A = this chain, B = another copy of it.
Amino acid sequence: MTPVRRRTLEILLESHRAMGAYDVLERLSQDGYGNQPPVAYRALDFLVEQGLAHRLQRLNAFAACLSPDRDHAPAFLICRSCDRVAETDAPVLRAAFRETAAERGFKVERLTVEAVGLCPACGDGDDTGADA
């Protein structure tokens, strides 16, 4: 864990939401680090490899892992209204899927499970979202 990487993780943690690589990069450069894309992508890729952050395919974005300590099988709930992302663990689901795939001869190495919908705050009778 180096300064850039640590700072990158802090940025993700502070934001409490998914951030694009370029958003992270802007913060990093404000803090005196490099201002070119590879700086952010390298740090983010490292964090993802280490299980300290996750990549959200549907958003082209990254978010800090909420339980980096334990080995887990994350699934994501992405609110289309307020853009907030909830990380949840779905080990049973993943095991089941892995098995289904195995029946077809497919070896699953990485599994992406991402749901888009409405979070509790945004789904309770209003569609506008709580952007805060």
Contacts and interface: CB of A to CB of B under 8 A. Distances in A.
A107 B78 CA distance: 10
Interface stretch (A26-34, A46-54, A115-123): A115-123
Nearest to A58: B57
Q: How large is the interface on A (under 10, 10 to 19, 20 to 34, 35 or more residues)?
A: 20 to 34
Contact of A106 (B109, B111, B114, B123): B123
A66 interface: no
B80 A106 contact: no
Given A75-B97, A90-B97, A93-B93, A107 B114 contact: no
Contacts of A115: 97, 101, 106, 108-112
A100 to B, nearest CB: 7
Contacts of A97: 75, 90, 93, 113, 115
Interface of A: 57-58, 75, 77, 79-80, 86, 88, 90, 92-93, 96-97, 100-101, 104-120, 123
